[in-house]
Structure 1
Amino acid sequence: MTASSVNAAPSGLLVGRAKNLALAGLFLSMFVTMIAMNVVGTSMPIIIADIGGSQASFTWVIMATTLASAISTPIWGKLADLTSKKVLVQTSLVIFTVGSIVAGMAQDPSWLIACRVFQGLGAGGMGALGQIVLAEIVSPRERGKYMGIIGAVMAVATVAGPLVGGLLTDTIGWRYNFYVAVPIAIVAIVMLQYTLHLHTEKQKVKIDYAGASFISVGFSSLLIWVTLAGTDFDWWSWQTGLMVGVGVGALLVAILVELKAQEPLIPLTLFKNRTFTLSVIASIAVGMVMFATVVYLSQYMQLARGRSVIESSLLTLPMMLGVLGSSTIVGQLISRRGKWKSYMVVGSVLLVVGLLLMGQLRYDTPYWIAEVSMFVLGCGVGMTMQNLVLVVQNTVAPNQLGAASAGVTFFRTLGGSAGMSVMGTILAHEVETLITDGMTKLAESNPAALAGADALQGGAIPKIAELSAPLRTVVESAYGEAIGHVFLSVSPLAVVALIAIAFLPNLPLSTKTNAERMSEERNEVESQAAELLEVSTGTIPVVDPAEHDGSRTSGAGRGRRYDETHG
């Protein structure tokens, strides 16, 4: 294949076979990032136990990726408005791939956490840029079905990732979880080079370094505080005062910086757009729901039900099937009918119902109840998550599409990071309390059964298969009840998402791609500038309608149109 074989149309717009090939490369890039992130999901309890980590380490290994992804997302989005989207996509893939390779060599939790930060930087790029490039190629009306495809790609990667990861972990070792996606990433980078041809406006790149720094410090300080408070220090302590003070202060300074910046990282004017503001609120809530479910379902199956990595992957398939089916079907319906709001409202209702059902899970809950609960929740996620980006892209100015798309993704990921941090703290505290209570009761009824209880000291994640039957029951019961409480604690957030989505303006979807809208704006600006120059220099007289006899000379027509446009 040569570059000439897939050239874009002369206008700079991808059409026909060129568009299909470009989309194939884009979806492959998104797939490799998603599968590489999900391949370690169900293996994480074993990975953390193998390198000597605790429940806090487990939370931080997950949160390091999501926090880095969240912080970097608006930077990628702003760069997409200013420079080559193609180069940015390839760069994010390279960063992610290198981070994955080095993560596979980790010997302790700190090493793994550092590598996961680099994975998060690359994942943040793909999370934002994939949506932005899609908007450049496909109109909002047509984009519904492609958003469905993205949801399907995400679901397939989420299903295939844990299965592949479980197989690798159970056979040749968990380190290969980090290496398996590298060849696919290389193929994706090369494929993008030969298929993705986009028009890029040459602009002077001005990065809002001050805004990025203060936003990063502010959110990081608050998330670290939520993670450590209650375990490493008291909620009411000088450490709390310091971290909260630094976090809030940095965010206040960030707001002032963003108001004055020439190219703000997150343009605060976007919040004047009702659709953007409500979508951000809904995205934060959906992010918390999605990340909490994906992260803690694997712990539930392995630590509360005693299943292996690959078994837990298979048992969580109903949720992914719900995401896959609902996102694909609803995406097709949105593209055909041009209507989106009713589907998103139904999806947010399913989020609430699914979480309430998941909140009833215990270590001895019948599997069919757990499977139905997961499927309902998966349908809710599939019908809402990607479409929140779609409705925002449909309303913002074309030159702010990158910042707006990245903004929604940023707040969704940030919500997931905050949710995991808070829920990880809740889970660790509840598990420790429940295990202590269970061991106290066990000591009273059967002291001999406490043999091997040392493995449960210090909050370390236990290896269930190595525990005696009585201790295993204590641990499974504790994790089952605690994780059920975590799901239940998230359900009010789904109600928030439902309310925000219900109040979204029900605007029709545009039939023009972002590239077409940008082209129209350029042509209009150039035309108006030419007319203004002609009028100001006297080349074309401004015709008084009272004196005009109705004939449409070229100059008179242009003069009148200028008057009508500019008053």
Structure 2
Amino acid sequence: MTSTLPAPTVAARRVLIPLALAQFICSFAGSSMNVMINDMSRDLDTTVQGIQVAITVFLLVMAALMIPGGKLTDRWGRKRCLMGGLAVYGVGALLSAAAPGLGVLILGNSILEGVGTALLIPPVYVLTTLLFTGTAARARAFGAIMALGGIGAAAGPLIGGLLTTAISWRANFGFQVLVIIAILFLTRSLEDPRAPDPHAVFDTVGAVLSAVGLVLLVTGILAADNNTWLMLGLLLAGVAVLSGFFWWIRKRERTGRQPLLPTSLFRNRTSNLGLVTQNAQWLVLMGVSFTVGAYLQVVRHYSAIATGGVFTAATVGLLVSSLSAERLAKRRAQRTLIVAGFAVTVVGIVVLLLLVRAFSNVWAFTPGLLLIGLGIGLMLTPSVNVVQSAFPDSQQGEISGLSRSVSNLGSSLGTAIAGTILVSELTKNGYAAAMAALALIGVLGLVSALLLPRETPGTTRAAEPSKR
């Protein structure tokens, strides 16, 4: 049956508030712990490495389960996945707030909040894509969502530092619970634009293979500081399992069965390049957040509030550029915005590295972090729009899950790579080595952006008919 999606209504625009808040709180959770490393490790009787593992596992669980979560939006429905994910996330936040040790924190924050995020984030992007058509309209919608997502990641250290200093690090999770309750209230009357299909096939084997492969890859990076052979073994195992995943989905397609992801998603050059840029953006953002946060607390002995205050410049930069997404999309091609974003971000990393090495004053962090915030905010929205708009409405659940999985994989890799380098040489040149690695990732992202096809500013993709 062919259907035409309506133009955005007042109700559709209103629903952006809870959707943007959902992205905000998930991004906030991934970065706010970076300023509580000393407080949490002391209270939970663990180490910097222990908190790094908790942060990385949270981001990794999101990445590993985001593809299955995106697929479940078709079977369970967008609203049901959103509400269910919010509920699981809320329980995890409550458990984290009361955690007596690292184990319970990992269960609540890393596992339950990670699972909840994997369920609730794909519907955010599917609903946005279905309700808003055309580059400019989607740029405005994604701009609001990505602005709050980026602000959540950038302002997480500041808000987390305020809560930790004024109350306790546990108040950080209490804040998350309050936001979750607000989102549940705001989405109570949300209507799913499409009915769920309870008979939709779910590829369990594919879901397991994709999740295990991603877990092995990131775990291998985390093991680099302890055992080189273990690291290589885990990385090779991860590559082998992911190769098995691609073999499996091709086999299902050849036999006429529906795979977890259609191989056609990986044959779109524009989308593939867009996914690379998304991965690089979040890798750099979360890597910088963890590196600067850990360096300030462990090496310079800054308090949580002082550490969070340093990130204000990045928050301001992200806010300014993200909220300009709609206006910029009308005037500049999305490729241009992504290229410019990476260029500004790489310059920001270099400035941050040079000034911090040359000056001990806290203001040395401001110019670099401001440029990084401006650069990341400039390219977050167009990267998402490039990927989502490359496929018809009938594949939005699948590409949304893949897109968010790739982005969250970038977040987990950022914390794992930068954290491993930093922690291994924390009293030597760990800061410089970690920032140099992030600058290299930024350059690779810039190269990928330059390979994106050129387009005309304000280009609108016609809504394609959905087939059900």
Q: Same fold (TM over 0.5)?
A: yes
CA distance in 1, matches of 2:261, 2:240: 18
Query: Aligned partners of 2:391 and 2:455: how far apart in 1?
Result: 12
Counterpart AA for 2:98: M
Distance of 2:365 and 2:240 partners within structure 1: 43
Within 5 Å, give how 1:123-202 maps onto structure 2.
Answer: 123-141=117-135, 142-158=137-153, 161-200=156-195, 202=197
Q: 2:244 is matched with which residue?
A: 253
> 8 Å contact 1:288–1:415 — kept in the other structure?
yes
Q: Which residue of 2 aligns with 1:535?
A: none
Match of 1:94 among 73, 87, 92: 87
Q: Give the residue type in structure 1 aligned to 2:104.
A: W
- Tell me if structure 2 keeps the 8 A contact 1:36–1:161: yes
Does residue 345 (structure 1) correspond to residue 292 (structure 2)? The answer is no
CA contact (8 A) 1:147 1:331 kept: no
Classify the secondary structure of the residue corresponding to 2:425: helix
Partner Cα distance (2:220, 2:31) in 1 = 27
Tell me the CA shift for residue 258 of structure 1. 1.5
Output the amino acid matched with 2:33.
V
Secondary structure at the aligned position of 2:247 is classed as helix
Query: How many Å separate the matches in 1 of 2:443 and 2:233?
Result: 33
Compared CA separation, residues 368 and 169, structure 1 to 2 (3 A): closer
In 2, Cα distance between equivalents of 1:196 and 1:153:
23
Is the CA contact 1:139–1:510 (under 8 Å) kept in the aligned structure 2? no
Match of 2:453 among 505, 517, 527: 505
Q: Distance in 2 between matches of 1:208 and 1:215?
A: 11
Alignment of 1:513-528 (within 5 A): 517-518=464-465
Q: 1:63 to 1:302 in 2, by over 3 A?
A: same
Secondary structure of the 1:359 match is helix
Matching residue of 1:216: 211
The alpha carbon displacement at 1:166 in A equals 2.3
Task: Give the Cα separation in 1 of the matches to 2:60 and 2:346.
Answer: 25
Alpha-carbon separation, structure 2, partners of 1:34 and 1:419: 14
Q: Deviations over 1:293-317 (max 9, x none)?
A: 1222222332333321112111111
2:370 matched residue in structure 1: 375
- Of structures 1 and 2, the larger Rg is shown by 1
CA deviation string 1:409-440 (max 9, x = no partner): 21222133223223222212212xx4xxxxxx
Contact 2:142 2:381 in 1 (8 A): yes
Q: Does 2:100 correspond to 1:72?
A: no
Tell me which residue corresponds to 1:267.
Answer: 262
> Paired residue for 1:52?
45
Q: 1:483 aligns with which of 431, 440, 450?
A: 431
Code of the residue aligned with 2:464 in structure 1: it is: R
Is structure 2 residue 411 aligned with structure 1 residue 420? no
Aligned length: 458
- Report percent identity of matched pairs: 24
- Give the residue type in structure 2 aligned to 1:351: T
Corresponding residue number in structure 2 for 1:473: none
RCO comparison, higher one (Cα < 8 Å, 6+) = 2
Instruction: Report the CA distance shift for 1:495/1:131 in structure 2 as closer, same or farther (over 3 A).
Output: same
Q: Who is 1:355 aligned against? A: 349
Relative to structure 1, the CA distance from residue 496 to residue 66 in structure 2 (aligned partners, 3 Å threshold; closer, same or farther) is same
Kindly tell me: are residues 347 and 90 of structure 1, through their superposed partners in 2, closer, same or farther at Cα, counting changes over 3 Å?
same
The partner residue of 1:307 within 293, 298, 302 is 302
Change (3 A) 1:427 1:86: same
Question: For 1:202, what is the secondary structure of its paired residue?
Answer: coil
Q: TM-score, normalised by structure 2?
A: 0.90
Change over 3 Å in CA distance of 1:377–1:59 after alignment to 2: same
Moved more, 30-39 or 317-326: 30-39
Q: Does 1:393 align with 2:394?
A: no
Change (3 A) 1:488 1:168: same
Q: Can you list the C-alpha shifts for 1:138-190, whole angstroms capped at 9, x where unaligned?
A: 11321112222223212443455434432332233221211122233123113
Aligned twin of 1:228: 223
Which portions of structure 1, spanning 4 or more consecutive aligned residues, are displaced by more than 6 angstroms?
A: none
2:402 partner letter: G
Query: Under a length normalisation based on structure 1, what TM-score does the superposition of the two structures give?
Result: 0.75
Letter in 2 for 1:503: L
Structure 1: stretches of 5+ with no match in the other structure: 1-9, 435-477, 523-567
Q: Deviations 1:181-227 (Å, cap 9, x if unpaired)?
A: 22331231132121344222536222211111112222212322221
* 1:67 Cα deviation from its structure 2 partner: 0.4
Answer whether contact 2:285 2:376 (CA < 8 A) is retained.
Answer: yes
Contact 1:35/1:157 (CA < 8 Å) preserved in 2?
yes
Q: C-alpha distance in 1, partners of 2:152/2:273?
A: 29
Paired residue secondary structure (1:125): helix
Q: Secondary structure at the match of 1:87?
A: helix
Cα–Cα, structure 1 residues 184 and 288, in superposed 2: closer, same or farther, change >3 Å? closer
Query: Do the aligned residues in 2 keep the contact of 1:279 with 1:408 (CA within 8 Å)?
Result: no
Distance apart, 1:25 and its partner CA? 2.8
Q: Provide the secondary structure at the position in 2 that maps to 1:263.
A: coil
Separation in structure 1 between the aligned mates of residue 170 and residue 196 of structure 2, nearest angstrom: 42
Distance 1:364 1:303 in 2: 18
Q: What amino acid maps onto 1:104 in structure 2?
A: A
In structure 2, do the counterparts of structure 1 residues 485 and 365 end up closer, same or farther at CA, with 3 Å as the change threshold? farther
For 1:483 and 1:199, how far apart are their aligned partners in 2? 49
Give the match's secondary structure for 2:324. helix
- Judged with a 3 Å threshold, the aligned counterparts in structure 2 of structure 1 residues 25 and 168 are, in CA distance, closer, same or farther, namely closer
Aligned equivalents of 2:38, 2:134: Cα separation in 1: 41
Q: 1:263 to 1:354 in 2, by over 3 A?
A: farther
1:411 lines up with 2:406 in the alignment: yes
Q: Is the Cα contact below 8 Å between 2:139 and 2:381 reproduced in 1?
A: no
| Separation in structure 1 between the aligned mates of residue 45 and residue 415 of structure 2, nearest angstrom | 21
In the alignment, is the contact (CA less than 8 A) between 1:358 and 1:370 conserved in 2?
A: yes
Q: Classify the secondary structure of the residue corresponding to 2:33.
A: coil
| Contact persistence 1:96–1:119 (CA under 8 A) | yes
Query: What are the ranges of 5 or more consecutive residues in structure 2 without an aligned counterpart?
Result: none
Q: Deviations over 1:260-281 (max 9, x none)?
A: 2333223222121111111122
SS in 1 for 2:15: helix
**Cα distance, 1:484–1:114 mapped onto 2, change above 3 Å:** same
Shift of 1:38: 4.3
